[in-house]
């Protein structure tokens, strides 16, 4: 991932302490992340490193939430992501199941939370690398505000999101409220999550999580269809 060198012979992203912290925070939030109950919309500062929203970057107005639908595919052209999306639930320990290790180019969607396009933050998770190669979210930390994220849904529509925030959460000071809660009440949002920071060989894990936040800014009827904006 950008910002650190991927170790050879390792790279079980979303394992070890960093992934455990991420999932524990999600588990504690439970279904509250679907409707934003108890969430804070205050700016994230302090213990969270901001990759940045440069001053003066124009962002489009939000689109009203649309009827939810199951995601099938996600595309982030600016960082070369084009991947299928599969539903993931909670395992027997109460943690969300990441995508299978034998499908590192697949993105997982937390199906007990919001559907992309509906009100609230929909959560997408993906691997950063494997033992031998980069995985689907290897370049996620290179995403920048203003970038487009397209989510193709089961109803044939494409929900278009615009990135407005990129954060790196250290595991020691991880804050589930800031990571999973809606950035602005009433919006349809998207959260893209992977591991980042420094790789620790002793624990076979990374020491932080990259969290990219985006919000709904358009909808179109499918590949090549017309975009509807507010």
- What are the start-end ranges of the E strands in 70-175? 71-76, 81-88, 107-110, 120-125, 148-153, 158-170
The domain ranges of the chain are: 16-222
Neighbours of 11 (CB within 10 A): 24
Give the mean pLDDT of 177-201: 86
* Whether this model's pTM surpasses 0.75: yes
More confident residue, 151 or 24: 151
Q: What was the pLDDT predicted at 165?
A: 92
Superfamily of domain 16-222: Sortase (2.40.260.10)
Tell me the pLDDT of the chain averaged across its residues.
77
Residue 210 has pLDDT above 60, yes or no: yes
Confidence of residue 225 (pLDDT cuts 50, 70, 90): low
Cβ atoms of 36 and 224 closer than 8 Å: no
Give the mean pLDDT of 24-52: 40
- Three-class SS state of 70: coil
Confidence of residue 181 (pLDDT cuts 50, 70, 90): confident
Q: What was the pLDDT predicted at 96?
A: 64
More confident residue, 191 or 40: 191
97-126 residue pLDDT tens: 778 888 999 999 999 999 999 999 999 999
Cβ atoms of 193 and 178 closer than 8 Å: no
Cβ atoms of 114 and 122 closer than 8 Å: yes
């Amino acid at each position: 991932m950008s910002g650190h060198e991927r170790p050879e012979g390792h790279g079980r992203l979303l394992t070890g302490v960093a992934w455990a912290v991420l999932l524990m925070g999600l588990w504690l939030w439970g279904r509250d992340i679907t409707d934003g109950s108890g969430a804070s919309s205050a700016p994230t500062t302090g213990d969270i490193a901001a990759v940045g929203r440069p001053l003066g970057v124009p962002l489009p107005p939000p689109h009203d939430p649309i009827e939810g639908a199951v995601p099938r595919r996600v595309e982030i052209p600016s960082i070369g992501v084009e991947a299928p999306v599969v539903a993931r639930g909670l395992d027997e320990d109460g943690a969300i199941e990441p995508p299978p290790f034998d499908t590192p180019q697949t993105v997982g969607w937390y199906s007990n939370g919001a559907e992309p396009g509906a009100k609230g933050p929909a959560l997408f998770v993906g691997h950063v690398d494997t033992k031998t190669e980069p995985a689907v979210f290897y370049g996620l930390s290179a995403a920048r505000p203003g970038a487009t994220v397209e989510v193709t849904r089961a109803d044939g529509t494409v929900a278009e999101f615009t990135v407005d925030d990129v954060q790196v959460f250290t595991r020691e000071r991880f804050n589930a409220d800031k990571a999973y809660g809606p950035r602005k009440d009433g919006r349809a949002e998207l959260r893209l999550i992977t591991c980042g920071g420094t790789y620790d060989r002793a624990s076979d894990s990374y020491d932080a999580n990259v969290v990219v936040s985006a919000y709904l800014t358009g909808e179109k009827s499918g590949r090549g269809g017309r975009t509807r904006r507010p």
